[in-house]
Amino acid sequence: MVTAAYFRLLLIGVLGLGVYPSLAVERGPTYRGLRAEAQGLTGTASVQGPHALFINPAGLVGGPPLRMETTGYLGINGTLIDYARWGADNYQHLNDMDSLLARIEPVDNKWATFSNAFTLSAQFDDYALSVVEDIRYSVTVGKAVITPVPGVGMLSDFILSFGRGFTDPYYAMRWGLAVKYIYRIRFDRRLVGTTDEEFYRVKREWEKPGTGFWDHIRKLGAASEVAETSQGFGLNAGAVRDLGNDFTVGAAFLDFPTVMNSEWVIPDLNVGVSYHPSIEIMDWRHQFQVNADLHHLLDPDMPWFKQVKFGVAWEGFAGGRPLASLGVGLNDGYPTFGARLGYIFYLSYTYFVEEVGGQPGQTPLSFHKFNAELAF
């Protein structure tokens, strides 16, 4: 009963923030993990394991006696590769406007985005701890009106999160809380000009000689030279309830509240439903999931196509350990895909797309993400 009362109190708090969005600033950390991305960012009702800290802490209930995992992934795409190649050929022209303008066509007005993440997580029964470093860089070279200007952007979150899941037999539901510390390095994506200090710092970085492809990928991180740091604390909370053996519904309140540099972060309310039957075939367990989520319900400006998420997954277990999995989903209207294979050491590939334009299909931003994972 006490937990239910707290839960209501938290709900009122969250709705209160939704009513007064002027109190809020930028959206909170966006790390959700590759499994959720493969399944179209769904998982509010079905997530389990340490990643539940970021999606719905109620998923921490019923974890293994001890589980540790570390992952690292790299997200690249065609535009990024084009940029890196262009940079390798043209970085020496940064001081010559005429030459640069003559060569700018392939990259003008196109932003290249690069992402990577590293996680270290541990779960002990209903408790979990996770350290995440999630970085996204953006870069462009384009014409302002008639002269060339660089553009950079960066959002890097270092998150330390700890959470616990609870079982509430009275309401036949599970719920969870996760606290987090966030250290953020951020530079909002923008063009920088010759009277901006950032212009020169970015230019210096770009002008450094580089011999290989990765040298030029590294230069994409020039925004870190000019980014500002902030830090804050926050809370994620969520609840799930089983409806029979194979259905679960869930709701997650993310960043409710989260405070960065004394300013409230816009909270998220996500809800989802999951159908998750499993079957045993010759001692192998096959776990299926069909998920449907609605996200960002507290944000009146969020377009509908960014709210609706679908995901489908299969995962095969041998000896209680996951062996292989496949997932597909629909994020912002785009199909996503993921596959994972291994035993203790896993390799996975995820194809993830999000819409950065104003309407479905306008400006997709896609990533091929390659991941290595060690899980005990």
Partner 1 sequence: MNQLHRFMGLAFAASLVLWGCNLFSPLTSDNSKDASYEILLEEGKQAVNKGDYSRAREFFQRAKAKYPAGSEAHLFHAKAIMADYGHDFTSFNNEFNSKKAGQQKGIPFLDSTTTLSGIDSVYFPVYSAVADLEQILRHSKDTLFLSQDKKQFLLPNGDTASDGKVSEGVARLDLGLLQAVKAMLAPLDMDGNGRVDSTCGRNICPTLAPDCLRTDVYKATCKTGPLSEVKRFQTFKQLTQNLDIDNINSNDLEARYVSTNPNDINGFLDAMAGPMAGSNNNLDSVNNALASHNEEKLQSQIGGIVGSIKDLNNFLAYMRHNDSLDNDFDRQSVGPSVKGDIMVWHDYNRDGRIRFDYDRTYEGYPETAGDIGHPLHRYFNPDLYVSHQQFRARYPQLAADSSENSRMELMIRYCRELVSAIPQEGNVTSALLDSLSANTCPEITSVLRPEVRPSPRSDWLSGTFGIDEEMLDRRDNDLDGLRDEDTRNAVGMDDDDDSAIDLEHLGQEIIPMQWKDVSTHVNQCPDIDTTIAMIPGNPRRGCLGSLENRLHLARTASDSLPKLYSPFPDQISDADCLDDIEKLDPEFLAAENYTQIEKNTACTYKHIWIAPRPPHSEWSGGVLGVDEEYLDGVDNDGDGWVDEDVKW
| Contacting positions for partner 1 (CB under 8 A) | 95-98, 101-102, 108-110, 143-149, 188, 190-196, 199-200, 277, 279, 288, 290, 305, 308, 312, 314, 326, 328-330, 332-337, 351, 353, 355, 357-364, 366
- Please state the closest distance from residue 222 (CB atom) to partner 1, in A: 16
Instruction: Give the C-alpha distances (Å, rounded to integers) separating 251 from 59, 240, 270, 329.
Output: 11, 6, 6, 19
d(CA 323, CA 312): 17
Q: Which amino acid is at 81?
A: I
| Token duo for residue 348 | 């996975």
**CB closer to partner 1 out of 265 and 313:** 313
- Please state the closest distance from residue 148 (CB atom) to partner 1, in A: 8
d(CA 362, CA 249): 32
**CB closer to partner 1 out of 211 and 245:** 245
- Please state the closest distance from residue 132 (CB atom) to partner 1, in A: 27
- Please state the closest distance from residue 219 (CB atom) to partner 1, in A: 18
**CB closer to partner 1 out of 101 and 122:** 101
**CB closer to partner 1 out of 162 and 275:** 275
Instruction: Give the C-alpha distances (Å, rounded to integers) separating 208 from 108, 216, 349.
Output: 21, 9, 32
- Please state the closest distance from residue 39 (CB atom) to partner 1, in A: 10
- Please state the closest distance from residue 91 (CB atom) to partner 1, in A: 14
d(CA 124, CA 236): 19
d(CA 19, CA 38): 33
d(CA 331, CA 348): 19
Determine the 3-state secondary structure of 374 from DSSP. Answer: strand
**CB closer to partner 1 out of 127 and 247:** 247
**CB closer to partner 1 out of 308 and 374:** 308
- Please state the closest distance from residue 115 (CB atom) to partner 1, in A: 18
**CB closer to partner 1 out of 6 and 200:** 200
Query: Strand (E) positions, 109-215?
Result: 112-124, 127-143, 148-168, 173-191
CA quadruple 40, 236, 322, 294: dihedral positive or negative? negative
